[in-house]
Amino acid sequence: MIPRLALIGLGLIGSSIAHAAKRGNLVGEIVGYARSPETRATALELGFIDRACDTAADAARDADLVILCTPVGTIEAITREIAPALKQGAIVSDVGSVKASVIAQALPHIPKGVHLVPAHPIAGTEKSGPTSGFATLFDNRWCILTPIPGGDPDAVKKVEDFWRALGSNVDTMTPEHHDRVLAVTSHIPHLIAYTICGTASELETVTGSEVIKYSAAGFRDFTRIAASDPIMWRDVFLHNKDATLEVLGRLTEDIFALQRAIRKGDGEMLHDQFTRTRAIRRGIVEAGQDTDADNFGRYKGKKD
């Protein structure tokens, strides 16, 4: 039980943490801050926070656990702002999709006696804002902790317990490894999805309405993650430059290999490439990280 939880940022992740914490009765009080007064009002109205503050520092004051749920580009400024308000023994955590940069931004501002425990829940939807959160978002997903070397093990344990109580499984790794893993499983897929949507909308020979009408042939799958929050994703790429560029380099190399196979009419190479991917899909379904229902379950209840 955490007596006072402060959420800085009340979007999809912040609001989902609040819903899940209330579902599990994990906290005494939830204090929230969001830059926009409308977001704060909505959060109060929906009841997932108990109290709203006009500044991040006020929200963080006397909190036992402060979770930063804002784009990773804001971490330095927010940590600097809330630092003087943090009480001794408080834990500061976050949910950022990039970890080395978050640590570099936050750690210099964390006061002595306060513990920084970086975290990243691997869960989300394509929606944003305070109305988009829900209590089951983290159920059976993974949350990755990247503890600070020499940091307080009790603080890490508290954050780990909190995420398990929110419904997550918890793993621990270095921030550098996290950033490389997420470049593969998240950042590059988002970048490619955004790019394909952009390319499709700019072709001269195929109209936008054609792209939309015939999108069920595959394209529509990419548009979901490409509808994600643009500021959050801008910050991810600005703050995980090296790992994303490395994975992107590998991907373009592989694209060129397939491009050459198409040009040369190398059916065997294409078939080989297209065959080995089914095992990954099967692994993801077996690990409970995706549904096996046709089309992600879009046809749910319609299949006869």
The pair of three-digit structure tokens given for residue 221, joined into one six-digit string: 């799958």
How many C-beta atoms lie closer than 10 Å to residue 120's C-beta?
26
| Minimum gap (Å) between residue 110 Cβ and a copy of itself | 25
| Minimum gap (Å) between residue 84 Cβ and a copy of itself | 29
How many C-beta atoms lie closer than 10 Å to residue 31's C-beta?
22
Smaller CB separation from a copy of itself, 113 or 230: 230
| Minimum gap (Å) between residue 180 Cβ and a copy of itself | 5
How many C-beta atoms lie closer than 10 Å to residue 254's C-beta?
11
Smaller CB separation from a copy of itself, 38 or 210: 210
Judge whether 109 and 83 are in contact, CB under 8 Å.
yes
Smaller CB separation from a copy of itself, 110 or 193: 193
Strands (E), the chain: 2-8, 27-33, 51-52, 65-68, 91-94, 115-117, 119-122, 142-145, 169-172
| Minimum gap (Å) between residue 191 Cβ and a copy of itself | 6
For 30-96, the DSSP string reads EEEE-SSHHHHHHHHHHTS-SEE-SSHHHHHTT-SEEEE-S-GGGHHHHHHHHGGGPPTT-EEEE--
Smaller CB separation from a copy of itself, 90 or 105: 105
Question: Which residue type, as a one-letter code, is found at position 20?
Answer: A
**If you ran DSSP here, which 8-state letter would residue 266 be given?**
-
CA distance 208 to 197: 10
3 state SS of 144: strand
Smaller CB separation from a copy of itself, 104 or 245: 245
Smaller CB separation from a copy of itself, 108 or 297: 297
| Minimum gap (Å) between residue 111 Cβ and a copy of itself | 30
| Minimum gap (Å) between residue 298 Cβ and a copy of itself | 5
Smaller CB separation from a copy of itself, 154 or 274: 274
